[in-house]
Amino acid sequence: MDPSSGCPLSLDVSFCNTGQDDLGVACGSRKWKGTLKARMPISASRVWEVVSDFVAVANWGLLADSSLVDGEPNVPGCIRYCKSRHCGPDGKTLWATEKLLANDHEKLIQSYSVIDGNVGLNGYVATFSISECGADDCSIEWFFEFDPLQGKEEQQVVKQITSVLASRLNRLYELLSKSNQANL
């Protein structure tokens, strides 16, 4: 977010375009990758309380709807349906079904993959992790990778995805900030 906005949420975006990602891991043309990093003045446990509810992502993720399609809610293997508030170039509402791969309540890590939809991201897998930085401060890393899109530029696509994810984190911060103020 723009520092002039007064929001203490700080974001950092990185993507793989030089043969190495920010962790020094070689990456080739097999997958395009990106990472969104944020520092949030909210406790890690409070952030996890919200984001670990895989099925309820629409409550904070700027989606029109999310619902359980298959499996037990919030247990790896379950599948959610996500309906966007936006339409694609064809005028149809964007949607995806996503499978929960991991939801580790001790390590505060959630991984999921897109298994169907019209968002155009084949092979998309994301991992959302939270680390405690202090009693009321945490860092968040949202790593994602997906199959290259023919006819598109990697940097542009990764920036679009990170922009969407940043909007979701900003919305999460707004909700949790209001919630914290209401509890004072």
Q: What is the pLDDT of residue 134?
A: 85
Q: What is the pLDDT of residue 30?
A: 85
- DSSP SS3 for 112: strand
Q: What is the pLDDT of residue 158?
A: 95
Locate the domains of the chain by residue range: 9-59+100-113+121-182
Q: What is the pLDDT of residue 11?
A: 59
pTM (two decimals) = 0.84
Token pair 């203490």 in the structure block, residue: 8
Q: What is the pLDDT of residue 179?
A: 78
- CB 67 within 8 Å of CB 55: yes
Q: What is the pLDDT of residue 22?
A: 41
Q: How far apart are CA 81 and CA 24, in angstroms?
A: 34
Give 10-residue mean pLDDT values along the chain (184 residues).
44 47 46 94 95 96 95 98 94 97 98 96 96 92 96 94 94 88 53
Looking at CATH, the fold of the domain delimited by 9-59+100-113+121-182 is given as Alpha-D-Glucose-1,6-Bisphosphate; Chain A, domain 4 (3.30.530)
